[in-house]
Structure 1
Amino acid sequence: MKAIVHHGSGPADVLQLTDRPVPEPGPGEVRLRVVVSGVNPTDWKSRSGGYGAVDDSEAVPNQDGAGVVDAIGDGVDGLTAGDRAWATLAAYQRPTSGTAQEFTVVPVERVFQLPDNAGFDLGAGVGIPAITAHRALTIAEDGPARLRPGALGGRTVLVAGGAGAVGNAAIQLARWAGATVVTTVSSSAKAVLSRAAGADHVVDYTTQDVAAAVREVAPEGIDIVVEVAIGANAEADLAVLKPLGTIAVYANNGDRPFAPEVRRFMGLNARLQFVLLYTLGWDRLRAAGDDVNAAVAAGAFRVGEEAGLPLHRFALEDAAAAHRAVETATVGKVLIDVTPAT
């Protein structure tokens, strides 16, 4: 089978097209014929050594993907050969199980049946972004642990960077769950995308005073902040956060230092929650994936420019270009076409 591999860490050029044997599923495992592979920032950061040294053994990149269940191992329930499915964290602690190959084998708990109304592009586009957004929206002290219609009713959510993949997912999931959503962007084009995702209010942080603009549309303050750049945004977040509010931090884009002002956080009885899926635990990951599937089935979670998330397609042999696109902050979702849909 065709596969993209790399040996050790490095720039995107270390990714090479090669042939690998088709893997066999063991007990509790599922083999997926990958139709579309999704590329996330975590994929290029892992490939480049951003999470620490990578040895020279063979690795296949990309954590997210969607396709067709091809074979199942002993003890697998709930999936059968021929089912359409999406997978996430495919390569976590399994370096050769990434989705940038025609077939991959992953544990069944990482695989979710694709709703009938969803295509493979959507399946490859949920995964890490949507589950990250779900986690950020469900960690408030007195908030829901699961999302469903009405779960966030009466709450106001601020999504920093609403045109990003996680920001887009947070907008869609928060709106589905009944929240009022405010988001920040850096351009008029990104504002259009954020409104397409469903944001109620959009603030351009390059031309507006964020705290003043947010307070104007949410005078009582923000219940949950979904934060992509805590170093740059901490001051504004504190200025708009309600007492007992939560700032859920899933990234620090720009790498500006973050030194929490302890007394101000204490004064608000604020919760500062960091989010990383790899150590979240499979029970929470499964619950989040199930909630995301419910939103997808309800037509409340979509991809594409009409949903605020433009798609950028690459062939499997162009995986290096796909990684570079994500590494250079291309707006939208980067997808790799691996095998034909039928």
Structure 2
Amino acid sequence: MLASWYDEQGTAADVLHVGELPDHQAVPLPDHLSYELGASLGIPGSTAHRTVFADGPVDGKLVLVHGVLGGVRSLAAQLACWGGAIVLATVRRSSDLDRVDPAVVSHAIALDQEDPAAAIRAYAPQGVDRIIEAALSDNAVAERPVHSEASSTTVMSDGAPTRTGGPQAPAPRLAYSWVSP
């Protein structure tokens, strides 16, 4: 799956000679998975898997996925659901709510509504157990009221200019970091 990670051929080569790669970079796809599924994983799938499971199992936990319509975050929501989590999600606009898959997401919240944190707390009064985040600079202040006592936030990326004009989180320092309130 990540056989050519950081290789000049990239991660999506049609053909790859694996004879010279270390074993940990080229592993067999389990028989019950299709080649199409395997080909779709790559870096986005690995990132999504790490953001969901690197902090431990999610079975029975409330997991909030910000920006669930994004590629990696959509995969993260699917993996969290597969792992037994109750998935809450945000979208930017109310008009995007009908694009959220109800088979994966138990409750979706639009960030353009009056008080998105209150809407999350209405569904999760004790707070959420885990937050999957891609725009910490934009969402950190809004996230604080929805954390539970023992929750964690997994930041998959940051460093883009903020939409809200808030402080910008330093991307290299926060890559694959877990921040608790």
- C-alpha change, 1:179 and 1:99, in structure 2 (3 Å) is closer
Hey, what does 1:128 align to over in structure 2? 43
- The structure with more radius of gyration: 1
1:255 shift after superposition: 2.2
- C-alpha change, 1:210 and 1:91, in structure 2 (3 Å) is same
1:183-235 CA-to-partner distances (Å, cap 9, x unmatched) read: 10124564334325601110111234221111011110011110011110001
Hey, what does 1:161 align to over in structure 2? 67
In structure 1, what residue type is equivalent to 2:2? T
**Match for residue 2 of structure 2 among 88, 99, 116:** 88
Query: Pairwise mapping of residues 170-249 of structure 1 onto structure 2 (< 5 A)?
Result: 170-187=76-93, 190-196=96-102, 198-249=104-155
SS of 1:103's equivalent in the other structure is coil
- C-alpha change, 1:178 and 1:208, in structure 2 (3 Å) is farther
Q: TM-score, normalised on structure 2? A: 0.78
5+ unaligned residues in a row in structure 2: which ranges?
none
Is this contact kept in 1: 2:3–2:11, CA < 8 A? no
- C-alpha change, 1:189 and 1:196, in structure 2 (3 Å) is farther
Aligned residues: 168
RMSD: 2.7
- Distance, in Å, in 1 between the alignment partners of 2:67 and 2:78 is 13
1:274-323 CA-to-partner distances (Å, cap 9, x unmatched) read: 328xxxxxxxxxxxxxxxxxxxxxxxxxxxxxxxxxxxxxxxxxxxxxxx
- Distance, in Å, in 2 between the alignment partners of 1:167 and 1:228 is 8
In structure 2, what residue type is equivalent to 1:152? V
**Sequence identity percentage:** 34
Query: Pairwise mapping of residues 270-281 of structure 1 onto structure 2 (< 5 A)?
Result: 274-275=175-176
Is this contact kept in 2: 1:181–1:201, CA < 8 A? yes
Higher strand share: 1
1:259 shift after superposition: 5.7
- C-alpha change, 1:114 and 1:139, in structure 2 (3 Å) is closer
1:110 shift after superposition: 2.3
In structure 1, what residue type is equivalent to 2:131? V
Higher relative contact order (CA 8 A, sep 6+): 1
1:127 shift after superposition: 2.1
Is this contact kept in 2: 1:247–1:273, CA < 8 A? no
Q: TM-score, normalised on structure 1? A: 0.44
1:247 shift after superposition: 1.0
- C-alpha change, 1:258 and 1:238, in structure 2 (3 Å) is farther
